[in-house]
Amino acid sequence: MPDVDIPEIIVQSNHENYTAEQMEQLVLHPLRHELQQTLNLDEISSVSQNGQGTITLRFLYGSNISQASIEINEKVDLAMRFLPEELQRPKVIKASALDIPVFTLNVSRKSIAFTPQEFLELSEFTEMVLKRRIEQIPEVAFVDISGFNIPEIHVTFDSAKVSQLKLEMEYVAQIIKANNREIGNILMREGHYQYHVKIGTGLRSIDDLADIKIKIQDRIFQLDELASLSITPEKEMGQYFSNGKRAIALNIIKKSDAQVEKMAKGVKQVISQLEFEYPKLNFDYTRDQSRLLLVTIAALKQSLFVGAMLAFVVMFLFLSDVRAPLLVGLSIPLSVIVSLLIFQLVNLSVNIISLSGLLLGVGMMIDNSIIVIDNISQRLNRGDSLMDACEKGSTEIFRPLLSSVLTTCAVFLPLVFLSGISGALFKDQALAVTIGLSSSLLVSISIIPVYFNWLFSSQLLNQLNATISLRPFDLSRLYKSGFNWASRHPRIMLLIMIFNLIGTLPLYFLLEKRIFPELTELDTELIVDWNENIHIDENQERTKRLLKVAQDWIQESNSLLGKQQFILSNSKSAQSTNEAIIYIKAATEAELGFARKVILEHVQCNYPRASIKFSNPENAYERLFTTSEPPLTVQLSLNSSPRNSLNVVDSLEQFLRRTFPEMLPQPTESIVNISLVHENLLRYNIESKTVINVLQTILNDYQLGELKSSQRLVKIKTSMEKNEFGKMLKSAKVQNVDGHEFPLTQVISVTSAKTFKHIYANRDRIYYPYSFHISERELAFHMNEFSQLVAPYNSVNLFFTGSLLKNRVLIKEFTIVLIIALVFLYFILTVQFESTWLPLIILTEVPMTLMACFLGLYLTCTSLNIMSLIGIVVMSGIIVNDSILKLDTINKLRKSGYTIDEAISIGGERRLKPILMTSLTTILALVPFFFSQDLGSELQQPLAITVIFGMFMGTFISLYYIPLLYRWVLGGIKLYNI
């Protein structure tokens, strides 16, 4: 994809012990209040959940995102004074299409079973060795990693000894901190010399920790006499699986100026070496996006070859001369070489968008050479010498050719006025087509006549041509009879034209409207929320069972369970332990459909509380265009806090689901509230921090300190012997300031509650979203029904968004773009013909071809999307070219003394073959788009459909309607008044 700044910045904040409601109230709300004053901010939204909150800021396109990132960082710093003290500074992430990994490398052991210690070793190897080896490759910018375990030291105390000695964890923490103190770099002078002095040694290993001395009741103990010490993984909040095996994922991200193919080659060389050095490890590649560009380049080669061959056949059949097709075969590679040179000069990268523009321009590149060759051939047939024919034939056609190129390029210019990132991206396509056509014009005018003269003066080629030549197609009689019939039946022709114009409207309403075309789907992401308070291990078991039911149709799978550790993660990676994102890939679309069906049935049958949805896998195309947005999203907003809104939302959902049974409820979860009974704390003279320390110890969350290993800081946490949480609460004791013990249950209250799993908010309100996958025909019904059903609830506000509503905005913009393009065409043609009437005659061709474009989309079951709309704009520039050449010839004949009927007849005969040849070559050059499965080709297929159907209709109009309109409108006007 082009290196385009995505006008989006993400602010992420984490706090393990905060609920979704606390994240919203204490963190996200003050952050949003500060950030919403950012310059050029278009919209701001946030989502909070247990332990994490994400704010997404979208800016007006064209904003300086780097400057916006600096401003947001400053505002985050200002907001820190309003945030909780223990909260770490939120991360500010500037979104970029280049953050998408070129591919993911999965690292696992070849043996299936893992012990915790073995996986810790694999995690350390991956983070400290493998990650660094890959980042040394010049083309690699960064390796993002997830699925690894982080070690921590667990100090498990003997509860009997702790109770007997009345040992407090806070005292142990102070002892560890005193032994871990290290002061270095103190400068000391002694005579003429000076030295750096280091005080203290600090803790470097688990043995150092075990040797710590603790004085209790006049007795000195070593720490390992009171507790057992072990290195274990941190409490797992997430896991990663590749094809059912526990693995570590490495997302490999390239530098902005690096070549994809070269980077992929370098990485695979390093991995080949690592496979030799570490034979017990398994390295798998997944989501390889380097293939996108390689396949698109292959499609370019195929299109060039097919286009050249088809043009060769078409010209040989029409001209019966082997030399003319050879010239066309020469013009294509020359035009492409010149185009790529200009790419380099204007700093236009080779990407999927620019390559597809070049592919689109191949058929039009051929047209210029065909017209020049045909005009020179006609000069030869009329008796000119070879040199005169080459000179005059190319000179007299230059002006209409230049107008044709300008009109085609002019229709692309308004595309840059599209709002948002679409306009910026398709600027590359517009530039590519403009460069291709300009190069083709340069080659056809300057080089083709030279080689025409050389080829046609070669005796060897003349003999070869005489040997294999065929009788050329003679279509002039058929054309004359058809045109004479049309001239005698003007009313029928007028009715056909009116039917063409009127038929456009019903076809428009029958077409499905989308923002982007549907692409071939061989993979998908399944987002599952089990909607139960399950452990990560249970999440793993459920995911395995889910994948097993679809294993016959799945070629490859990756599972992201719980929270992930990617630094450049998107909102999909922000999960709780009871959520999973499962990537599945199939061999065919049909098999992917079967896999989706059985997975959905399995979840609905076995886990009725779970919510499940399918989404497009994240890639550069998805990141830029966000094609997974639901057609309609209804946002319900209540004038109350999330805690007080729970019952209202629940009752409202039950009421609305009577009309909309497909409506999924807002996910909720159960939480345990432990509150301190302050009256008893005062009665028993117990400090609140003592109670909290005991609770943290029971929950294995009391941190004694950190050990400074050679690679990282390792947390030291304390815990008691393993037991069930309920039993530990009942048996736990808490000491007062006098050293007397009391049951923990006397000073705490334990209750359960239900809360929203996610809390959504935008600039000025908290809302609850409900998505509907509906067609455009159902949009009005859903919006009206929702408004009527919610109307009695005064405290409920309703807002609508979604891709269907954005489609309407897009179509309005394209209508404006088409009008601007037609205005550009009119002024260019006015200069060309020095007339205000002739351009209007030519431009009537555009609305008459719209019905053919819509009919083509309807017959091929293709939606009206951004690519098909661009195709209509492109077609508008192409179809007028034939009429420009034809009317230019008719005008020249009239200036030579011919009557209007004679000029139309002779001009039609002279331009018949060029019109048919250029139309056929343009149509045939687009045919390869339908036989390629690469992203570039699939993106261009709707465009190709509109151009092909429009060209068929446009050719008919150029041959019959335009001459008739010329006669009807200008038959009585003298030439000097045109």
Q: pLDDT per residue over 685-738, tens digit each?
A: 888 888 887 777 776 666 777 777 656 678 877 765 555 666 777 777 888 888
| Angle, CA of 886, 958 and 476, to the nearest 5° | 75
Average pLDDT of the segment spanning 498-516: 82
**pLDDT at residue number 304:** 63
In the DSSP assignment, the letter for residue 666 is P
Q: Using pLDDT thresholds of 50, 70 and 90, give the confidence band for residue 377.
A: confident
* Predicted confidence (pLDDT) at residue 183 exceeds the cutoff of 70: no
DSSP 569-623: --GGG---TTEEEEEEE-SSHHHHHHHHHHHHHHHHHH-TT-EEEEEPPP-HHHH
**pLDDT at residue number 433:** 81
Average pLDDT of the segment spanning 319-335: 76
Contact 512, 860 (CB under 8 A): no
**pLDDT at residue number 367:** 77
* Predicted confidence (pLDDT) at residue 408 exceeds the cutoff of 80: no
Q: What is the pLDDT of residues 592-604, one digit of tens each?
A: 889 989 998 898 8
Burial of 487 (0-12, 13-18, 19+ CB in 10 A): middle
| Angle, CA of 808, 810 and 814, to the nearest 5° | 120
**Lowest mean pLDDT across 330-339, 412-421, 633-642, 903-912:** 412-421
**pLDDT at residue number 72:** 92
Strands 556-562 and 579-585: antiparallel
Q: Using pLDDT thresholds of 50, 70 and 90, give the confidence band for residue 71.
A: very high
Q: What is the pLDDT of residues 759-793, one digit of tens each?
A: 898 887 888 888 888 877 788 888 888 888 888 87
**Lowest mean pLDDT across 240-244, 278-282, 820-824:** 820-824
DSSP 227-276: EEEEEEEPPPSEEEEETTEE-EEEEEEE-TTS-HHHHHHHHHHHHHHHHH
Contact 664, 604 (CB under 8 A): no
Average pLDDT of the segment spanning 113-140: 86
In the three-class reduction of DSSP (H, G, I as helix; E, B as strand; rest coil), residue 283 is classed as strand
Q: What is the pLDDT of residues 905-953, one digit of tens each?
A: 888 887 787 788 778 877 877 777 776 666 666 777 888 889 889 888 8
**pLDDT at residue number 21:** 84
**pLDDT at residue number 933:** 64
Q: What is the pLDDT of residues 554-602, one digit of tens each?
A: 888 888 888 888 877 554 554 678 888 898 888 888 888 899 899 988 9
Q: Using pLDDT thresholds of 50, 70 and 90, give the confidence band for residue 978.
A: very low
Token pair listed for 104: 């993911």
CA-based R_g, the chain, Å = 36
Cβ partners under 8 Å of residue 596, min gap 6: 524, 526, 614
**pLDDT at residue number 690:** 82
In the three-class reduction of DSSP (H, G, I as helix; E, B as strand; rest coil), residue 279 is classed as coil
As a residue count, the chain comes to: 978
How would you classify residue 62: left for phi > 0, otherwise alpha for psi between -120 and 50, otherwise beta? left
Name the amino acid, one letter, at 761: A
Structure-token match 């549907």, residue found: 518
**pLDDT at residue number 622:** 63
pLDDT > 70: what percent of the chain? 86
More confident residue, 737 or 465: 737
Determine the Cα–Cα distance for residues 202 and 223; give it in Å rounded to an integer.
16
**pLDDT at residue number 198:** 66
Structure-token match 């690679």, residue found: 711
- CA–CA distances in Å: residue 922 to residues 308, 313, 317, 362: 11, 13, 16, 8
How would you classify residue 919: left for phi > 0, otherwise alpha for psi between -120 and 50, otherwise beta? alpha
Average pLDDT of the segment spanning 533-553: 88
**pLDDT at residue number 424:** 65
What is the pTM for the complete model shown? 0.70
**pLDDT at residue number 238:** 84
Cβ partners under 8 Å of residue 195, min gap 6: 187, 188
Determine the Cα–Cα distance for residues 618 and 110; give it in Å rounded to an integer.
28
Determine the Cα–Cα distance for residues 93 and 811; give it in Å rounded to an integer.
32
| Angle, CA of 126, 129 and 130, to the nearest 5° | 55
Q: What is the pLDDT of residues 487-496, one digit of tens each?
A: 888 788 888 8
Contact 817, 415 (CB under 8 A): yes
* Predicted confidence (pLDDT) at residue 973 exceeds the cutoff of 50: no
* Predicted confidence (pLDDT) at residue 551 exceeds the cutoff of 60: yes
pLDDT > 90: what percent of the chain? 2
**pLDDT at residue number 201:** 64
Chain-centroid distance, C-alpha 359 = 22
Tell me the H-state helices in 748-844.
776-790, 803-833, 838-843
Average pLDDT of the segment spanning 813-828: 81
* Predicted confidence (pLDDT) at residue 977 exceeds the cutoff of 50: no
In the DSSP assignment, the letter for residue 864 is B
- CA–CA distances in Å: residue 406 to residues 140, 445, 878, 916, 948: 42, 15, 10, 21, 21
Determine the Cα–Cα distance for residues 820 and 843; give it in Å rounded to an integer.
13
Strands 632-638 and 91-96: unpaired
In the three-class reduction of DSSP (H, G, I as helix; E, B as strand; rest coil), residue 845 is classed as helix
Cβ partners under 8 Å of residue 293, min gap 6: 260, 261, 351, 352
